[in-house]
Amino acid sequence: MIMPLMLDPLPLLTLALAAYVISGILSALLASFGKVSSWLSALGGLIASAATFCAALSVLLGGALLSARLPGINYPVELSQLNALLLVAISLPALFGSIYSLAWLQSATVKNRRQIALLSAFFLAAMTLVVLADNSIALLLALEVAALCAYFMIIQPGCQKSRRAGLNQFLFGRAGTLLLVIAFALLYHATGSTHFSVARASVLSPLLASGVFVLAFLGFAMLAGVIPLHGWVPQAHSSAPAHISALFSSGLMKLGVLGIVKIGLDLLGVPPLWWGIVVLLLAVLTAFVGGLYALMEHDIKRLLAYHSLENIGIILLGIGGAMVGSALHQPTLAMLALMGGLFHLFNHGLFKSALFLGAGEIEQQLGIKDIEKMGGLARIMPCTAVAMLIALMSMSALPPLNGFVSEWFIYQSLFNLSGQGLFITRLLGPLLAVGLAITGALAVMCVAKVFGVSFLGKARSPLAEQATRAPRLMTFSTAMLALLCLLSGIASPWLLPVLARICAAFLNAPQMDIAAQASLYPGAGSKTWVSPPLMALLLLSLPLLPLLISVCLRAGRLPNRTRGEAWSCGYGYSSEMAVTASGFAQPLRVMFAPIYRLRKIFMPDGLVSLIHRDCLAAFCRRLAIVELAILLVVAIA
């Protein structure tokens, strides 16, 4: 039952789906009228994402609807609190992405405006339906529509790289869909139904359950970008428009995570221990390698895409820990791990969307994505610089931002894993914690690289010297997402009890006391006490100390001197003396050279050339058009 004072989520979800579809079609039809089309697309996305957010919030604060039908369209859905949490994680970036898209669409060509306005609306509607699906057929249909819409949004007119990126995404997507079809066909053969409620109530043989898990995990892992099944992610994020790239990270990849949660913790019963161990090992590999490859990138959007892989790995550390906790019947371990994973899923949507939108502002104003050719942008785009710095710090899990809190819970779950009685858990717990710590160090290095090279120092190219501020709506969207990163970190003692209730209901475990008096207690309060609001106050007050000292000693201070060029050991200063992105990452490139060579070993140039032949790309494009048209007709029917 939904609380009487809460809004009914079902009409709101119907409104959201209708707003997505109608605004997308109208804006595509009126694409020749730039402002009208842009406003229709942005307002439709704004209304739909706001309605989705309100519906999800009603479920989170009220109660779940495990089986219902959307009024008006009579569409069956399953609206659990876990699904509602994912809807919140998708709708917030979509809301600010819609505001950002208003400025982007007005500057786009008519053809590009028509394509992005229509497909982005269908893309968001399809992702919403994936989250709400109550059976495997509906999930697969909506997931395929979302993936095909993503394929067409990746390809940009006249750009060979984007065509290659789209082909990669198409091939990975179809392989993942094939694996999922086989997995759900096996599940249907065993249960006699495609509905998830029937699968939950069924008891499968261990061999069959493991077969379904492996197939479904591989299919969802391709969507989520789990290494080594990540080949489509970097190029796709780099080629798509910035607000679409943000939706890839905050939405499309998270659908893969949702699938892993459903198949590993929900539909197949209590998982065996080895399922969780496999997920944990792939998670730490994804986090470490993603962070390592991000440091080598100079394309700012590819760099952020590799960091999305890193954060998918961190999220899966929480999911895998929850699977191990369920297998060992350790509710404390399962609760801590799942809370950390799900909270990081939510947080990642905020800070990564802010980063992609900020990168889009830079690309819009400079026309380049190479951070080596930037520099000095903080003086030109100060609001964007501050917003991206906050988002980068959140990505690096620095307190008191939201990324710190979610990773704090994942660390606590790994420490709890180390204390379990089995040899494998005592071995894995410390190793995984060390891997997560190294990943955090790589993320901090990336903050220094991205912000230092892009925003500080002098301009490194004429394009950076001539840059101007981005449109206000773009800057506003980036700034608001960065502000949410700060607020959700400080307000975590009030947010996490809601998350604890969701995880306890999902795991059928006793609810834990997580927060009290603005402090977090993940586990034993005497050992794990931390207060994000207190951290925020201390960090804000620390700069006041040197200011007070300078005021007290001002009387004996020498007169101010005129500032000149930066000191360079007696030589005349030039912009070439500044630290470059290549030089910053060179020590790691040398240290981890064998790992960087793996990409060439597993994907040699001959194989890449064979895959990217023009005839295959043309065939896949025609196939994608036919498939998307058929799926839309089936979905409407």
pLDDT class for 532, splitting at 50, 70, 90? Answer: confident
- Structural tokens at position 464: 């950076």
Please tell me the predicted confidence (pLDDT) of residue 276.
93
Please tell me the predicted confidence (pLDDT) of residue 44.
93
Report which DSSP code applies to 133.
Answer: -
Rounded to an integer, the average pLDDT of 536-560 is 75
Rounded to an integer, the average pLDDT of 618-624 is 85
Query: Does some domain include residue 446?
Result: no
Query: Does some domain include residue 55?
Result: yes
Q: What angle do CA 320, 325, 331 make, to 5 degrees?
A: 135
Query: Does some domain include residue 320?
Result: no
Please tell me the predicted confidence (pLDDT) of residue 3.
41
* Separation CA 257–CA 394 (nearest Å): 21
Query: Does some domain include residue 31?
Result: yes
Rounded to an integer, the average pLDDT of 105-121 is 90
List of residues 6+ apart from 218 with CB closer than 8 A = 176, 179, 229
Q: What is the mean pLDDT of the chain?
A: 87
Task: Give 407's strand partners.
Answer: none
Rounded to an integer, the average pLDDT of 19-42 is 91
Q: Is the pLDDT of residue 573 over 70?
A: no
What is the tens place of the pLDDT at every residue in 248-282? Answer: 999 999 999 999 999 999 888 889 999 999 999 99
CB-based contact 310:465 (threshold 8 Å): no
What is the tens place of the pLDDT at every residue in 300-339? Answer: 999 999 999 999 999 999 999 999 999 999 988 999 999 9
Please tell me the predicted confidence (pLDDT) of residue 1.
36
Please tell me the predicted confidence (pLDDT) of residue 281.
95
pLDDT class for 625, splitting at 50, 70, 90? Answer: confident
Half-sphere CA count of 136, side-chain side, radius 13 A: 27
Query: Does some domain include residue 48?
Result: yes
Q: Is the pLDDT of residue 16 over 50?
A: yes
Please tell me the predicted confidence (pLDDT) of residue 95.
95
pLDDT class for 543, splitting at 50, 70, 90? Answer: confident
Please tell me the predicted confidence (pLDDT) of residue 546.
80
531: helix, coil or strand?
coil
Query: Does some domain include residue 109?
Result: yes
Report which DSSP code applies to 114.
Answer: H
Q: Is the pLDDT of residue 607 over 90?
A: no
What is the tens place of the pLDDT at every residue in 133-167? Answer: 988 998 999 999 999 999 999 988 877 888 888 88
Query: Does some domain include residue 57?
Result: yes
Q: What angle do CA 235, 237, 239 make, to 5 degrees?
A: 65
pLDDT class for 526, splitting at 50, 70, 90? Answer: low
Task: Give 68's strand partners.
Answer: 77
Q: Is the pLDDT of residue 183 over 80?
A: yes
Kindly tell me the burial class for residue 466, based on how many C-beta atoms sit within 10 Å of its own C-beta (0-12, 13-18, 19 or more).
exposed
Query: Does some domain include residue 9?
Result: yes
Q: Is the pLDDT of residue 340 over 60?
A: yes
Please tell me the predicted confidence (pLDDT) of residue 385.
92
Please tell me the predicted confidence (pLDDT) of residue 399.
86
Other C-beta atoms closer than 10 Å to the C-beta of 510 total 9
Please tell me the predicted confidence (pLDDT) of residue 222.
93
* Separation CA 224–CA 589 (nearest Å): 26
**Would you give the end-to-end CA distance of the chain in angstroms?**
30
Side chain identity at 365, as an amino acid letter?
Q
Please tell me the predicted confidence (pLDDT) of residue 598.
73
- Structural tokens at position 76: 């069956």
Task: Give the total number of structural domains in the chain.
Answer: 1
pLDDT class for 64, splitting at 50, 70, 90? Answer: low
Q: Is the pLDDT of residue 525 over 60?
A: no
Which of 224, 208, 24 minimizes the C-alpha distance to 124?
Answer: 24
Percent of the chain with pLDDT over 70: 92
Please tell me the predicted confidence (pLDDT) of residue 372.
85
The larger pLDDT score, comparing residue 207 to residue 465, is at 207
What is the tens place of the pLDDT at every residue in 210-256? Answer: 999 999 999 999 999 998 888 889 999 999 999 999 999 999 999 99
List of residues 6+ apart from 123 with CB closer than 8 A = 146, 149, 150, 153, 244, 247
What domain range is 113 assigned to?
1-134
Rounded to an integer, the average pLDDT of 541-569 is 71
pLDDT class for 393, splitting at 50, 70, 90? Answer: very high
Q: Is the pLDDT of residue 489 over 60?
A: yes
Q: How many helices (H) and strands (E) does the chain have?
A: 28, 4
